[in-house]
Amino acid sequence: MCGIGLLYPLNVEKALQLLNMLMTRGRDAAGYAIVDPDGGLVSYHTGSVENVRRSLREERSGDFLIVLHARARPLTEEANVAQPVLWRGVLVSMEGIVENDWEFRSSDAPSPWIDAYALCRVFETQIEDATISGLEKVVGSFSCIAINLSRPDVVNIVKGSQPLVFSLSEGSLAVASEDWMLIRLGIRNVTVPEPGTYIRISIRDSRQSIRRFRLTTSAPVPEPSEDRAVVLCSGGLDSGVVACIAKRRHRKVYLLFVDYGQPAAAREREAVHKIAEKIGAEVIEVKLPNLLNVEGLKTQVEGPEAAETLRRWVPARNLLLLSIAVAVAEQVGASVVYTGFNLEEACVFPDNTTEAIQLLDRAAKLFVSHGRVRIVAPLARLMKRDIVRLAIKYGILDLTYSCDRPDGPCGRCEGCWLRQRALEEVMREAK
C-alpha cells in the first residue's frame, strides 16, 4: 500500500496537506515532482518524510503540476528508494505491485530497481493503443499517475486494482488514493473509476479520454466472458423468468441454488432443476451452514398482510447470496450475475432495492481479481403482474415454486398470495 496524489495548479499549502493525508497509506519515505506543463520538470525530491516536507515548504505555488507519493515500503524492496520514479523521461507515482516487473527491465535499468520502473516503460509511447496494450502486459495489482516529460501537459491516470480517485474541472485537476482526501481539500466532483480504467487528461484544455483495459492477474481463475452468466435462482417466479432472460443473452447459463436452511429448500431445488432442464442451463448448488436465521420464514402471516411485513426477514440474506453468486461467477468465468429482484418486493424489503443492487454492483468489481463482473436485475422496474406475463410467455410458470412452505403451494403465504393475485389480474386483462 502507498499513497499517490497530484494537484494542478500547485498550491503548496494544499500539497502539504495532501501529502500528510497520503501518509495514512505509507510513512516509510515520500517524494514529489513539480512539472511545468509548458516546460517539463522543475523540481524533484524523494527521501525521508521530513526532508521531503522541508523541501516542499520552500516551493512556490503557481501554474505547475505536482505529483506526490507516500511510500509504504514492502519487505520485498530495498530501503533506499522512493517514488515518484523517473526513468526514460517518464515520471511515475504508483501504488501496489507489479508481479512481472523483471520483464520490463533493460540493460540501462536503474539500480536499485523497484516495481514502479516497469510502468515507465508503458508510458514511453504517446500512442494510446500502445499504452493500452502495455497496461495489459503488466501483471499485478496497481494504480498509478504517469507523465511522459516530452508531453508535460498530459497526465495519465491508471485505475487498476488499487484505490484511486480524481476530480477534473475547468483549469484544475486533482488525484488521490481515496475520496476523503480530495473532499477534505474542498474539492468537489470526485470521480471513482472502475478497475481497469485508463484516463488521459490534457491539462491545457481539461480534455479527457477514458479507455478501458483488461486487468491481467495471476489469479487462478478463467478470463471473464460475456458468453457466461450466473443466475441466483430460488426456483420461484422471479428468478425463473430471469433465468430465461439470461439464457437469451448468454450461451452458457449457470443457475445457482443456495440451500440456506429455508423451509421450502427441497421444493425450490426441484423447481430450479426443472427450469434448468427446460432452458438448457447448468445447476450449481451451494449449501450454507446454518449461518442465517430463517425463523422469520416460519412466521405464520397470510394474504396481503404477509406481502407487507418484514416479520419474515432473514438477516442480510441478499448480501450473502449475491456474494456467493459473485464468487461462483469468478470461478466459472462469468461476467454477469443476475438476480430476480423486482419492484413489487423492493417496496417491502430494503435488500431488494435498486439502490442496494447498484451499490453491490460497484462493490463486486473490487472483490474479484479481474474487476470485471456486473450484478444486474432485469426485473427491477417490474411488478408481479408483469413478471407473470413473462413467465407465461416463456412457458415456465408451472415449473416454478413460489411457496414459502415445504408442502405447498399453500395458497396463503406471501409467495403464493402475490403469485395468485398477479395471475388473476393477468387473466382478467386477457379476457
Instruction: Provide the binding-site residues for Zn ion, judged by CB under 5 A.
Output: 403, 408, 410, 413, 416
Measured from the CB of residue 387, what is the shortest distance to Zn ion in angstroms? 17
Say if CB 33 and CB 84 are below 8 A apart: yes
Tell the smallest beta-carbon distance from residue 407 to Zn ion (Å): 9
Given a contact cutoff of 8 angstroms between Cβ atoms, the answer to whether 136 and 216 are in contact is yes
Residue nearer to Zn ion on the CB measure, 13 or 424: 424
- Among residues 333 and 408, whose Cβ is nearest to Zn ion? 408
In the complex, minimum distance from the CB of residue 417 to Zn ion, in angstroms, rounded to a whole number: 8
User: Any idea which residue has 408451472 for its cell?
Assistant: 398
CB closer to Zn ion out of 229 and 403: 403
d(CA 96, CA 117): 13
Alpha-carbon distance values, 323 to 67, 239, 308, 330, 373 (Å): 37, 17, 26, 11, 12
Select 263 or 408, whichever has its Cβ closest to Zn ion: 408
Residue in this structure with the C-alpha cell 474541472, named with its chain if needed: 169
Say if CB 306 and CB 410 are below 8 A apart: no
In the bound state with Zn ion, the residue whose beta carbon lies nearer, of 203 and 403, is 403
Q: Which is nearer to Zn ion, 272 or 418 (CB)?
A: 418
Q: How far is the CB of 411 from Zn ion (least distance, A)?
A: 6
Q: How far is the CB of 302 from Zn ion (least distance, A)?
A: 9
Could you tell me the smallest distance in angstroms from the CB atom of residue 414 to Zn ion? 8
In the complex, least distance from residue 419 CB atom to Zn ion, rounded to whole angstroms? 8
Length of the chain: 431
Cell of 47: 527521501
User: CB under 8 Å, gap of 24 or more: what pairs does 178-186 form?
Assistant: 178/25, 180/21, 181/5, 181/18, 181/21, 181/22, 184/17, 184/21, 185/14, 185/17, 185/18
Nearer to Zn ion, 327 or 413 (CB): 413
Return all residues near 276 (Cβ < 8 A) that are at least 6 apart: 243, 255, 282, 283
Cα torsion through 418, 419, 421, 423, rounded to 10: 160
